A and B are shown apart, each in its own frame.
Chain A
Amino acid sequence: MGAKRKFVCVVCPRGCALEVETDEGGLLVGVSGNACRRGEDYARSEIADPRRVLTTTVAIRGAALRRLPVKTAGAVPLGRLVEVCRALDGLIVEAPVACGDVILRDLCGLGVDLVATDSLERA
């Protein structure tokens, strides 16, 4: 038995309401409601393996501020976001850091780097 699911596309602020049909094997049969091609790609990956870019902060030493904003350079599995956050709890980076600097390579073995999203000088 195939199934129909409805969810909102999160690719851009437009937020299209997608109607997604899958077959018995959980594979994508059709998508409607999307205004662009990215909606279809999103629906495909959302069914097979939902992923999100993680944005958070890590502790920083030697700067005027205490936290450095960071993000994953690519999307990571939705189900592992909490685990990844906890793995960052003990991390302390040293200032200076420039926006775009890689803070951690291959975060939690996910094959995705963690990068800085702000520049903090040494205070």
Chain B
Amino acid sequence: MVSRKDYDVLVVGGGPAGLSAALSAAENGARTGIIEREDRLGGILKQCVHDGFGLVRFGEQLAGPEYARRFADRVVEATSKGTVLATHLGAFVHAARRETCGDGGVRYVLECVSRDEGVFVAAARSLVLATGCRERTDRQVFIHGERPAGVFTAGLAQHLVNIEGLLPGHRAVILGSGDIGLIMARRLFLEGVEVEGVYEIKSEPSGLSRNVRQCLEDFGIPLNLSTTVTAVHGDRRVQGVTVASVDRRGTPIPGSERYVECDTLVLSVGLIPENELAVSLGLALDPATRGPRVDQEGRMAEAERADEGIFVCGNALHVNDLVDYVSESGEQAGRAAALFAAARREGVPIPERELIPVKAGSGFLYAVPQFIDRARGGKAVLYFRVNATRAEGGVVRVASGGATVLKKRYAVLRPPEMERLEIDVAAVPEGATQISLELADKGEGDGR
């Protein structure tokens, strides 16, 4: 007989989103279980030994593990007191399914396996997916040439250096100027690796300006913009790469190729939300974010399953640049998941939703959440990214049914920097069919 654990709320993932979600669910009275694949809580923050985390939330610059500790220690304490939290470490979810309860409601059943508990199932009325994101690999960017050892994603290089204490090589080329790539350039440099340069296909850095300064400029590491790696060379181990300048569409310019000697290629070419479980449960993904479509509490918002209790938070929803916002989204999802489970357990009808789609107009990459449940009232947090740098800034207007819900000016808007807005849901007019985000130049959007 396979052992079975029943909870009100099940959280998949013990990183920053999952920890916040679990703590907030437990604080709201839910019997909460966390399923974490690794042996320690904290997720990717465990290997992010650099600082800069927590400025928004704690007003301090914490190292990644320190930030994770603030939440993990509370989870461990709550678990040891035998209160409402339980943690399954080293546990992997290999399948998820639905089960119909006696009262007609749905229960989510996760089939898990762990070293300590063997095969077990965990079930709950509310499911919180806090599964984070994955790195794009060399197979997902177009690089020709050989397939020798020495090609690492930035996260793998970070794991080797910071967790295992191993250097990936001696002379490294970094492709992609995302924050992790910039941070790994500094990290490798400080550990004695020669960092030949960072190459970025776009005409501007993908990471935060402060990271260009404190990770590259501080140490004289060259940043080569509008340049990419087109081929990898080497038999058993990387011996070099070909780099080429690219045109405005990102296509390599013939004749601009040059050979760069190196034994290591580090790829920082983007992150993709991890939603294998969500997809297996039938959730469709938003092509812009590659995460599920949700309302302001992270609750799935697909019309045909609008009565369900699946919640998604953190990087599984969209790739964030600040962990502070990941924690915030976890908290919202955890609380909502607890209230949903309690209502189902007590047979209280779940309030009807009034889901209004959020549409990010031209100039935006995306906006999250994709829906606002007008019936929830209160405040709702919206996150967005623009699709191109607006050095002169701009005005973002949130409009619905002809009314202006919110207007905010920005001194500068850049795609790498996610922006956060808080709207008053009551300002969305009754019967509204859409909430739109509009971008205007400074001055234009002022109504002058």
Contacts and interface: CB of A to CB of B under 8 A. Distances in A.
A62 to B, nearest CB: 15
Given A13-B322, A53-B51, A56-B49, A117 B210 contact: no
Interface in B40-85: 46, 49-52, 55, 61-66, 69, 73
B421 interface: no
B49 A85 contact: no
B208 A13 contact: yes
Interface string B192-223: 10000000000000001110111001100000
B257 interface: no
Contacts of B208: 13, 15
Interface in A1-59: 7-10, 12-15, 17, 35, 50, 52-57, 59
B164 interface: yes
Nearest to B189: A82
Main secondary structure of the interface of B (DSSP, over half): helix
Contacts of B217: 7
A99 B63 CA distance: 11
A91 interface: no
A55 B51 contact: yes
B213 A10 contact: yes
B212 A8 contact: yes
B209 A8 contact: yes
A118 interface: yes
Contacts of B190: 54, 56, 81-82, 85
B69 A67 contact: no
Interface residues of A, number: 34
Interface string B142-186: 000000000000000000011111000000000000000000000
B308 interface: no
Interface of A: 7-10, 12-15, 17, 35, 50, 52-57, 59, 64-67, 69-71, 78, 81-82, 85-86, 99, 117-119
Interface of B: 39, 46, 49-52, 55, 61-66, 69, 73, 161-165, 190-192, 208-210, 212-214, 217-218, 321-322, 411, 417
4 pairs of A and B residues whose beta carbons are closest in the complex = A118-B65, A15-B209, A117-B63, A69-B49
10 contacts: A13-B210, A13-B417, A15-B213, A56-B190, A57-B162, A71-B49, A81-B190, A82-B190, A85-B191, A99-B66
